[in-house]
């Protein structure tokens, strides 16, 4: 099913998650890099719940600034426009994606832990490879699987069948999707990202995070998320395969040589970022403000 067809089908679904007004406005405003910092600061100060979260983010383990940052304008200067936008969008997505349907063995906290781990790993890889727009890697990793939450919430009957194949027969997620003719979660996530007017590079990375097309098209961000997902699946496995997929080694071998080497040697560095993964879980999932 093509992206346009999926978009039409999703548009027929009532009450699809929407981003908070401030996230949409910040996203729109920061498409223009000429936006005055005073204008952005004034907008953020109108949302008293967002300012402390941004300040806590800039003072968190992710960035490690030596002095405590207590001013939102200073935080924006230190983080940069893209990072500010991505932080606000990420927080807004997690706030808006509250699933109501429950399935035995499905744990939404574990879902976001997996997503946060892929986000941190994507950021680590992007920084090491110094890819273009590497500040987007964390957000792409955090949002890569959000299409699964839409499947659960809005395509319940199909997901019940899919859940049986995952839990009782141990099928990989993408095989179970095909077996029950459920819309691919990668494509659902891409449609949502486009609906929210996120940059096209994020849309593409979410769409291709299980696909070799990222490799064929030299999509660095897509390759990063693909690789990060494979590494997290290997070192942080979950009992039910609702998060996991088969990341074929022969496909991984077709990554650029430096990325394949990062996968091959991942046991030497992955556990070095476990503290950062735990910090991401506390900040984005548990709301730990410490």
Domain of 223, in residue numbers: 100-290
Instruction: Report if residue 7 sits inside a domain.
Output: no
Low-confidence stretches of the chain (pLDDT < 70) are 1-16, 61-67, 99-105, 239-248, 286-290
Instruction: Report if residue 4 sits inside a domain.
Output: no
Instruction: Report if residue 222 sits inside a domain.
Output: yes
Buried b (16+ CB within 10 A) or exposed e, 170-202: ebebeebbeebebbbbbbbbbbbbbbbebbebb
The C-alpha R_g of the chain, in whole angstroms, comes to: 19
Buried b (16+ CB within 10 A) or exposed e, 42-63: eebeebeebbebbbbbbbbebe
pLDDT at residue number 124 = 93
State whether 119 and 154 are in the same domain: yes
Listed residues 96, 129, 157: the one ending a domain: 96
pLDDT at residue number 150 = 87
Contact 1, 183 (CB under 8 A): yes
Phi, psi (degrees; rounded to nearest 5) at 15: 60, 35
| Residues whose CB falls within 8 Å of the CB of residue 72, separated by 6 or more in sequence, listed in order | 41, 44, 45, 51, 54, 55
Listed residues 55, 79, 96: the one ending a domain: 96
State whether 117 and 92 are in the same domain: no
In this predicted model, what pLDDT tens digit does every residue of 196-223 receive, in sequence order? 888 899 999 999 888 777 777 788 999 9
pLDDT at residue number 171 = 80
pLDDT at residue number 49 = 82
Tokens of 259: 């990325």
Closest by alpha carbon to 283, among 118, 54, 78, 43?
54
């Amino acid at each position: 099913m093509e992206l346009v067809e999926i978009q039409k089908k999703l548009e027929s679904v009532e009450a699809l998650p929407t981003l908070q007004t401030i996230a949409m406005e910040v996203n729109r405003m920061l498409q223009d890099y000429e936006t005055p910092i005073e204008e952005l600061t004034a907008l953020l100060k109108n949302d008293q719940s967002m300012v402390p979260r941004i300040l806590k983010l800039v003072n968190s383990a992710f960035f490690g600034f030596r002095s405590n940052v207590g001013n939102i304008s200073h935080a924006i200067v230190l983080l940069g426009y893209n990072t500010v936008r991505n932080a606000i969008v990420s927080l807004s997505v997690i706030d808006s994606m509250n699933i109501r349907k429950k399935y035995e063995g499905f744990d939404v906290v574990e879902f976001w832990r997996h997503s946060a781990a892929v986000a941190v790993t994507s950021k680590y890889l992007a920084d090491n490879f110094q890819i273009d727009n590497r500040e987007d890697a964390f957000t792409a990793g955090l949002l890569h699987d959000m299409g699964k939450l839409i499947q659960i919430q809005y395509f319940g009957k199909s997901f019940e069948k899919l859940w049986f194949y995952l839990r009782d027969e141990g099928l990989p997620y993408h095989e179970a999707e095909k077996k029950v003719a459920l819309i691919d979660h990668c494509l659902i996530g891409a449609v949502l990202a486009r609906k929210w007017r996120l940059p096209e590079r994020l849309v593409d990375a979410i769409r291709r995070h299980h696909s070799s097309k990222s490799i064929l098209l030299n999509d660095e961000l897509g390759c990063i998320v693909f690789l990060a997902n494979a590494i997290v699946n290997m070192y942080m496995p979950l009992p039910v395969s609702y998060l996991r997929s088969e990341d074929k080694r022969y496909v991984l071998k077709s990554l650029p040589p430096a990325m394949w080497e990062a996968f091959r040697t991942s046991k030497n560095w992955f556990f070095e970022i476990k503290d950062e993964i735990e910090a991401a879980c506390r900040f984005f999932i548990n709301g730990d403000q410490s």
